[in-house]
Structure 1
């Protein structure tokens, strides 16, 4: 197995935001075992940290967010049964689903294969004009293995998703915005991280419990019948009525000042 001369992941704190950097720029941040093992741990640590309210993920270097799986990574030969056991035991991508706090992906350059699947597992995607997106697996005799066939149709719709999945064609940032694959497009690459961080800090400034609950209601509700989703929303809404943050928000409105939320 190849060894990186530097950590594959960097984690730093910017205010109430945990910034996770995919740090393999020489390989366009291709996903190796260090990233597969490190990302779940980094996400869990940020999710459990009471001082962190939002998580931001981006890729180091000028070439892209993430080019997908590192096909140069050496792995011992394994049987199909062993491969299935390894891939289904606890897929690294499911760490995103277990994370209760909002996750933002800041995307530039290549966002391919597993890189796009990682971005799809985030809650918000913001892109630079040079971003390129594709799921090329069928050209390699494979299918996406980290949620591409499941998340992409839920984000952009069945027809456009099948178009991308079956052809492997790349789409640019403007098309990704049109399809709803990304929700924001910045002016240039240089402004991507500052604008993504500003967005993360804006979300982090809002009531923490309300932020957690709106993510829970929206994400879980998307997989429910409408009546069940409405019931979930009503339940979570009722839990917030007596919180200190709700009381503080009302007091701040009357006093014409910014609220000071504590997450209580």
Structure 2
């Protein structure tokens, strides 16, 4: 495929450096509120990253001088701004939550994804812009709010699926059914984060350092399979054993596995192939088509 052009985005800034794609939300004057254009940019950039063989890790962050990492959806025009024209014409079954579409693209990205949360976050700034990521770094002073029940709406962006799986059902209940605001060090939230940093200026450098390490030391194909096993494992330990076993057998025969062993014994950084080799098994799960199709009589 031709190489993606990362220069044409309106609401984000994007930079690719040594296998790490840095995506910065660029709406500081609007408190980095979430609008349709931002959602479209994020979907596109993560779809590009998924296919771009140069990209090993993706980081999402905001300028550390911005008033918020993401202060939630822009509802200055009311809730009707969240719905497309087809929603009105076709009814409630036609609506597809914009935050959820972003969440699914990030969650399904086959690269390592990192959220560097260097500011306050509310609503979709937590649900879509943190929960679907593989790893999360956060400033200890960043207020995190999930106020859906206090606004008369439902949690979005796949949060009722992701949050209980990440921190447990009881903590998810506490967060979503109180609609409160909590700091990352709260017992309800602290397990969500890879690292909690004392200052906001430390968040992105820490995330970038780990991203650069993983861009060198993590096999792209191993990352892809590991994420698949975590997200689409078996219904029992026996089913997971069957999936693990086949994955190990396939990966052990790959050039990356040979290079991983060789570099270990030679005590040097590995030189993994940037292009994951294809096989007939991955993905082993059935994908659900979420597109809405109008009824034709």
Instruction: Compute the TM-score of the two structures, normalised by the length of structure 1.
Output: 0.89
The answer for unaligned runs of 5 or more in structure 1 is 1-5
CA distance in structure 2 between the aligned counterparts of 1:147 and 1:200, rounded to whole angstroms:
25
Which structure is higher in helix share? Answer: 1
Which stretch shows the higher mean deviation, 45-54 or 86-95? 86-95
Q: Check if 1:62 corresponds to 2:66.
A: yes
Task: After TM superposition, give the deviation of residue 92 of structure 1 in Å.
Answer: 3.3
Q: Size of the alignment, in residue pairs?
A: 258
Residue pair 1:220, 1:229 contacting (<8 A) in 2 also: no
Q: For residues 226-241 of structure 1, what are the structure 2 equivalents within 5 Å?
A: 226-241=237-252
Q: Check if 1:37 corresponds to 2:40.
A: yes
Task: After TM superposition, give the deviation of residue 233 of structure 1 in Å.
Answer: 1.7
Residue pair 1:135, 1:148 contacting (<8 A) in 2 also: no
The answer for unaligned runs of 5 or more in structure 2 is 1-8, 278-297
CA distance in structure 2 between the aligned counterparts of 1:80 and 1:70, rounded to whole angstroms:
23
- From the superposition, tell whether residues 242 and 13 of structure 1 become closer, same or farther in structure 2 (CA, over 3 Å): same
- From the superposition, tell whether residues 255 and 123 of structure 1 become closer, same or farther in structure 2 (CA, over 3 Å): closer
Task: After TM superposition, give the deviation of residue 109 of structure 1 in Å.
Answer: 2.1
- From the superposition, tell whether residues 195 and 166 of structure 1 become closer, same or farther in structure 2 (CA, over 3 Å): same
Equivalent position of 1:126 in the other structure:
137
Residue pair 1:64, 1:107 contacting (<8 A) in 2 also: no
CA distance in structure 2 between the aligned counterparts of 1:147 and 1:93, rounded to whole angstroms:
7
CA distance in structure 2 between the aligned counterparts of 1:111 and 1:197, rounded to whole angstroms:
20
Q: Check if 1:212 corresponds to 2:238.
A: no
Task: After TM superposition, give the deviation of residue 143 of structure 1 in Å.
Answer: 1.0
Counterpart secondary structure, 1:127: strand
Summarize deviations over 1:20-41 as a string: whole Å, max 9, x none: 1111112221110101211111
CA distance in structure 2 between the aligned counterparts of 1:38 and 1:262, rounded to whole angstroms:
28
Residue pair 1:177, 1:183 contacting (<8 A) in 2 also: no
Residue pair 1:248, 1:260 contacting (<8 A) in 2 also: yes
Q: Check if 1:85 corresponds to 2:88.
A: no
Equivalent position of 2:21 in the other structure:
18
Residue pair 1:128, 1:192 contacting (<8 A) in 2 also: yes
Q: 4+ residue runs of structure 1 moved beyond 6 angstroms?
A: none
Equivalent position of 1:46 in the other structure:
49
CA RMSD in angstroms comes to 2.4
Instruction: Compute the TM-score of the two structures, normalised by the length of structure 2.
Output: 0.79
Which stretch shows the higher mean deviation, 30-39 or 175-184? 175-184
Summarize deviations over 1:185-215 as a string: whole Å, max 9, x none: 1232111111111111111112221122111
- From the superposition, tell whether residues 28 and 167 of structure 1 become closer, same or farther in structure 2 (CA, over 3 Å): same
Q: Check if 1:100 corresponds to 2:110.
A: yes
Q: For residues 93-172 of structure 1, what are the structure 2 equivalents within 5 Å?
A: 93-118=103-128, 119-172=130-183
Task: After TM superposition, give the deviation of residue 86 of structure 1 in Å.
Answer: 3.1
Residue pair 2:118, 2:204 contacting (<8 A) in 1 also: no
